[in-house]
Structure 1
Amino acid sequence: MSRALAADGGAATPSAIRTVGDSPLYRGATLALFLSGLGTSAAAPQITLFLVDELHVSLTTAGLYYLTSLTAPVAGYLIGARSDRTGRRLGFFRLCALTGFLGWSAMALSDQVWMPFVIGTVILAFSGAAGSQLFAAVHDDLQATESPVGDGVVSIVRMALTAGWIVGPVAGSLLATAAGPRAMFVATGLCTLAQIVPMGFAGTRLARPDVTNTAAPQPQAPAEYAGRRPGIRAMLPLLAFTGLYVLVYAGEPIKYGYLTIYMHNDMDLPTAVSGAVIGIQPFVELILMPVAVVVARRIGMMRLMVFAAAFGVGANLCFALTGNAAGMFAGQILMGGVWGVFAALGIIVAQRLLPEAVATASAVFMSSTALASALGGLTGSLGVGLLGLPYVFLAPALYGLVATIGIAVMSRSRHAVG
């Protein structure tokens, strides 16, 4: 009898993959975020080359472009707060996608040095909020339907964004080589606009404040908060978690800026080997993302993130201290572990830390990568001059150690997320 009941219970619980496939909203969000990752990652490595080769600016000036990302958190907060007050998640998503198309199209037409900086600061800052609106829409629907596989659904949707970042840099490089960077920027704009297509005319259901969206308990928004902007005090746990995430992520721009140079110029590794080192991380990340969801159900999300942040410390120590190909592979595999956990669970934790304003939480958390890019770029620039290669990687190792301690403290506090 018990076996029969267990079998019936297992059959009654849908899989996350099937849930995504059966829902126009989840399926559309998955495809839209793949297109977002594809377009953004195709353009990101080509921007400085465009500034240097097409607009003839110095390397120092080109590097300052990444500071334009500092406006993204402000834009994301404004969009998220408005979305939480009105509940129009997909309406704001479509507006942000259209803004991205206009921004990248304008980038392709830029013929003055100031133009990319203004476009990046003003227009593209708002386009980045499109993804956070999709995650907020998915959250609302999961909460309204009381889905028992909500974490798995969010993880699958987030995996699509990672998959786009795997394909995008290669596709962008090939297109820029064949047709030029301006054509590549137009293609990025079309990818951004094309996010609207898989969403079709999908709508969302407003989440009820008295239900959960997963099998695990989570904090719920009191009814009196509906339509109100959360105060700073309510946002403090989210801001603390986002700040710690910035410290974890800050090593990525340093790694992408200097690891290839170190492997090529100092270690004399063959191009195929250094390419394999760079490419192994996203594949490890994709493999580990669904595993992270399962493990988090057993030990808790924030406890798992403590281990993931510690992996980041180990990875950067491998880059700084090993000096051989095996150490580079070990570091990248550890980095795959870092992002397999944070990519799968970070957005879920952020939304649970501010359940009364999930669009605001999503926007604040997702814009943290822009802050991390600015911090990492500045740290790398100063660190290479002071420490040289490969010891510049000791700086992100230190950031990661602070983040590990901070997340460990949060995991033991009343703000811990299970």
Structure 2
Amino acid sequence: MANTDVMGRPPSALKQVLGSQLYLGATIAMLLSGIGVSAAAPQIVLYLAREFGTPLPIGGLFYLTSLAAPVAGYLIGSYSDRTGKRLGLFRLCAIAGFLGWAGIAVAWQAWMPFAISALVLGFSGAAASQLFAAIHDDLTRKPTPAAEDIVAIIRMALTAGWVIGPVIGAWLAAEAGIRVMFWGTALCFLAQIIPLGTLNTEAAPAQRAANSASVSTMPSQWSAMTPLLVFTGLYILVYAGEAIKYGFLLLYMEEQLHLGPELRGAVIGIQPLIELIIMPFSVIVARRTGPLWLMAFAAGLAVLANLCFALWPSAVGMFAGQILMGGVWGVFAALGIIVAQRLLPSAVATASAIFMSSTALSSALGGVTGGVGIAAVGLPVVFLFPAAYAALATIGLTIMARRATR
């Protein structure tokens, strides 16, 4: 990859992505991952109910099986940091995703999707973290002023996948059946391997030695991981609101606000659109303000968004809340993985895995909070709980930003 163009200027982030098999391959892989996972996730409870007669409350517990993902992610990340074998582990994780979703597609008893998700799909979630670790290694070897923009572009591909995946999944399930749709998800995981071909990158020997020393002492030196764990915990507080929102916002708009299906769809669809628009600018603004300050501001937007859902009972209020949430995830999606790797620079694969698998914990927190909150206070007051979580995250991120500034 050239370090400068014909004018002596460093090439743009987009040109560097298009000119690198690693960056372009990772972008395509992330797009496929986003499409596959987001297509299947909304269908799994319906699948359990229709195919096996599983009661909806029991089917909803399927999402708790993702709690195995942080453990699997940590194990794979630690091994990756000791050995430097990023893309080999990425391919194994992608194959695990293929086998897991294929197994769910052919399951013949209700317990099987639960077991497969807990034992196999937990490892598939580490595929993305291995890619971002490989990208970090490459950017360390070949520094460029556009490093953060490159990461943001690749992360945007994952978000784009989440925009179109649910539409593809709903169409495929309606036209060919849910089992066929799960086969589509399985093929998306397997297809992630193709754009990277036989490319094999590893951390530099000196970096592997530092990583190995760091990882080997981590169990007795949790202080090295404390900033990362605190940051991830604050991210979980913000993200918990997504599980509550997607669990109950559509129900609230339909049953209490009596909004039509087209309007409900527009409300849900506007968030990822705003997110994609904001992501490139988040990196630019973060260079001036510092990423933690910007993320603290975004967490504050999450407070306002959930207050809109709870206290502004109209279509305008729902749109306002979703637009604000688009701003929240436009910042966190672009900067989260960058900040996580900076907080544990001696073990970037471990940092990536811990951060990226934390969504499982946030979904569990949101699911429990939503269930208890609906029973206790009902709709729309339940949205005050994620507002409180986001307020705590805002305070925590502000404290972290101040310490980083010092």
Q: Same fold (TM over 0.5)?
A: yes
Backbone CA RMSD of aligned residues: 1.7
Aligned equivalents of 2:234 and 2:323: distance in 1?
21
Q: 2:239 aligns with which of 231, 249, 274?
A: 249
1:224 Cα deviation from its structure 2 partner? 4.5
Deviations along 1:57-95, one digit per CA (max 9) or x if unpaired, are 111101111110111000000000000000000000000
Contact 1:25 1:203 in 2 (8 A): no
Does the alignment pair 1:235 with 2:225? yes
Q: 1:143 aligns with which of 122, 140, 152?
A: 140
Partner of 1:405: 395
Partner of 1:90: 87
Q: Look up the SS of the partner of 1:54 in the other structure.
A: helix
Q: 2:386 aligns with which of 387, 396, 402?
A: 396
Does the alignment pair 1:62 with 2:46? no
The change in CA–CA distance for 1:143 and 1:62 in structure 2 (over 3 A counts) is same
Does the alignment pair 1:158 with 2:155? yes
Q: 1:312 aligns with which of 296, 302, 314?
A: 302
1:222 Cα deviation from its structure 2 partner? 11
Aligned residue runs from structure 1 range 19-98, under 5 A: 19-98=16-95
2:286 partner letter: A
1:207 Cα deviation from its structure 2 partner? 4.8
1:206 Cα deviation from its structure 2 partner? 2.2
Aligned equivalents of 2:208 and 2:182: distance in 1?
44
Aligned equivalents of 1:152 and 1:38: distance in 2?
22
Contact 2:26 2:196 in 1 (8 A): yes
Q: Which runs of 5+ in 1 are unaligned?
A: 1-6, 210-220
1:274 Cα deviation from its structure 2 partner? 0.9
TM-score (norm 2): 0.95
Contact 1:281 1:333 in 2 (8 A): yes
The change in CA–CA distance for 1:336 and 1:178 in structure 2 (over 3 A counts) is same
Aligned equivalents of 1:241 and 1:154: distance in 2?
19
Aligned equivalents of 1:208 and 1:409: distance in 2?
36
The change in CA–CA distance for 1:294 and 1:207 in structure 2 (over 3 A counts) is farther
Aligned equivalents of 1:278 and 1:9: distance in 2?
45
Contact 2:91 2:127 in 1 (8 A): yes
Aligned equivalents of 1:317 and 1:78: distance in 2?
38
1:347 partner letter: I
Deviations along 1:342-377, one digit per CA (max 9) or x if unpaired, are 000000000000000000000000001111111111
Deviations along 1:257-283, one digit per CA (max 9) or x if unpaired, are 110110011001111111100000000
1:33 Cα deviation from its structure 2 partner? 0.5
Contact 1:280 1:332 in 2 (8 A): yes
1:333 partner letter: I
Deviations along 1:315-337, one digit per CA (max 9) or x if unpaired, are 00000000001110000000000
Partner of 2:280: 290
Q: 1:18 aligns with which of 15, 18, 34?
A: 15
Q: Look up the SS of the partner of 1:413 in the other structure.
A: helix
Aligned equivalents of 1:153 and 1:66: distance in 2?
32
Partner of 1:278: 268
Does the alignment pair 1:325 with 2:315? yes
1:205 Cα deviation from its structure 2 partner? 4.8
Partner of 2:169: 172
Does the alignment pair 1:342 with 2:342? no
Partner of 2:101: 104
Aligned equivalents of 2:169 and 2:7: distance in 1?
44
Aligned equivalents of 2:8 and 2:271: distance in 1?
35
The change in CA–CA distance for 1:106 and 1:10 in structure 2 (over 3 A counts) is same
Aligned equivalents of 2:251 and 2:205: distance in 1?
52
1:228 Cα deviation from its structure 2 partner? 3.8
Aligned equivalents of 1:352 and 1:190: distance in 2?
33
1:14 Cα deviation from its structure 2 partner? 1.6
1:113 Cα deviation from its structure 2 partner? 1.4
Partner of 1:199: 196
Deviations along 1:217-242, one digit per CA (max 9) or x if unpaired, are xxxx8975545413321111000000
2:124 partner letter: S
Does the alignment pair 1:369 with 2:322? no
Aligned equivalents of 2:320 and 2:96: distance in 1?
40
Percent identical pairs in the alignment equals 60
Aligned equivalents of 1:16 and 1:110: distance in 2?
44
The change in CA–CA distance for 1:54 and 1:327 in structure 2 (over 3 A counts) is same
Deviations along 1:4-27, one digit per CA (max 9) or x if unpaired, are xxx999851221101101111000
User: Which structure 1 residue ranges, 4+ long, deviate > 4 Å from structure 2?
Assistant: 7-11, 221-227
Aligned equivalents of 1:352 and 1:247: distance in 2?
20
Aligned equivalents of 2:86 and 2:144: distance in 1?
19
Q: Look up the SS of the partner of 1:206 in the other structure.
A: coil
The change in CA–CA distance for 1:160 and 1:349 in structure 2 (over 3 A counts) is same
The change in CA–CA distance for 1:164 and 1:298 in structure 2 (over 3 A counts) is same
Aligned equivalents of 2:285 and 2:254: distance in 1?
37
Aligned equivalents of 2:182 and 2:214: distance in 1?
38
1:391 Cα deviation from its structure 2 partner? 0.6
Contact 2:82 2:208 in 1 (8 A): no
